[in-house]
Amino acid sequence: MTGMTRQSGEGDSTLSVHGGEEREKLDGALTNPIAQTSTFVFADLDEFEALKAGERSGFEYGRYGNPTVRAAERKLAALDHADEALLFSSGMSAIFTVLMAMLRSGQHLIAMEDCYRRTVQLCDVLAKFGIESSFVQPGDLGALEEAIRPNTRLVFTESPTNPHLRVVDLEKLVSLAREHRLKVLIDSTFATPINQRPLDFGVDLVFHSATKYLGGHNDLLAGSVCGSASLISAIKDFRDIVGTMSDPHVSYLLIRGLKTLALRIGRQNQTTMAIARFLERHQKVKRVYYPGLSSHADHEVASRQMAGFGGVVSFEIDGDLDGVRAFVNALEIPYLAPSLGGVETLVSHPATVSYHDLSWEDRQSIGITDELIRYSVGIEDSADLIADLGNALAAI
């Protein structure tokens, strides 16, 4: 058999393993080799001119493309049901590069308030280039419509959001955006292509911090954007200039991680649902944020547009900051760390880890209470994680 591996109509695990991959690889290798080179050579000028004219395939310089990076991009595109994908040095690098490629001074974007904090801070950076930003609550389409200006060009959102796991109704959002001729960009890191494929709903571009679930092993740093061939081509031209691409070794690790994506996400969906139900019933937990629970504000939307509810659950301890410290210190399985999405369970205290430089009043205004915990579930046994949570809650 030759050519690209078949992918239409395949299940998530088959797509994770084979999606976007060439059936025949260099020297009969089963896995994609690492093309650890910055420069590619040509036999003569005719060969170089043929490449530039699009008459032959190949690569010339690492900033413009690499076989291993390209293999990872094809797999990412297949998983997200996209025409094309681009890989970057980090998730934030992907977002910044795309926004700078699509916007210019004097234009305006709308973002959701409950976004990753660095994304919010990025909007302050964009202001230095004359690009304005407005923020609205996730799901408040009335506020979103009111925020639209004549110079508004795009809407940027996360779904689910970080850390409250708000889920945006993509059908309604896309419909409103189309009415006003706006592009819709979404960071779908928390969902992954296994739980949600925003392009299927008409979203224009989807981002992932590949550092998280896509890599899955806390051993790489990368980001991606997927979308139509025309949009991705224009963004690639800009990326080739500014040089924010990923590298061959990271791409190799990412491909390896993607092979088990569907398996890992399936396990994390199941375990996190069990943990969320346990926490919601516990007398020392005041509130649980997880879209799989009927108590979540966006449960109905999440049930319609997501295949699973993800591997992160946030919750508030019924106590004070001392109680939170006692709880976190009593946990034995999770690591205290700021990331998420890997095979190891991680716990974070957003008020300390991510929002420590804000005043108590400012944190309260965006829902970052001292009692809030973000718990990223790995692939350990659910019974062990629940028992560990129970023991830690008993320490309060």
At 134, which helix (H) or strand (E)?
A: strand 132-136
* Count of Cβ atoms closer than 10 Å to residue 254 Cβ: 28
Q: Please give the positions annotated as active site.
A: 63, 116, 187, 212
Please report the DSSP string for 236-282 in residue order: HHHHHHHT-B--HHHHHHHHHHHTTHHHHHHHHHHHHHHHHHHHHH-
Q: Give the single-character DSSP code of 63.
A: T
What is the number of residues in the chain?
396
Compute the half-sphere exposure of residue 130: CA atoms within 13 Å on the CB side of its CA: 6
Report whether 100 contacts 125 (CB < 8 A).
no
Report whether 250 contacts 30 (CB < 8 A).
no
Q: Are strands 372-376 and 346-348 parallel, antiparallel or unpaired?
A: antiparallel
Residue 131: phi and psi, rounded to 5, are: -100, 120
Report whether 310 contacts 191 (CB < 8 A).
yes
Q: Is 289 exposed, middle or buried (0-12, 13-18, 19+ CB in 10 A)?
A: buried
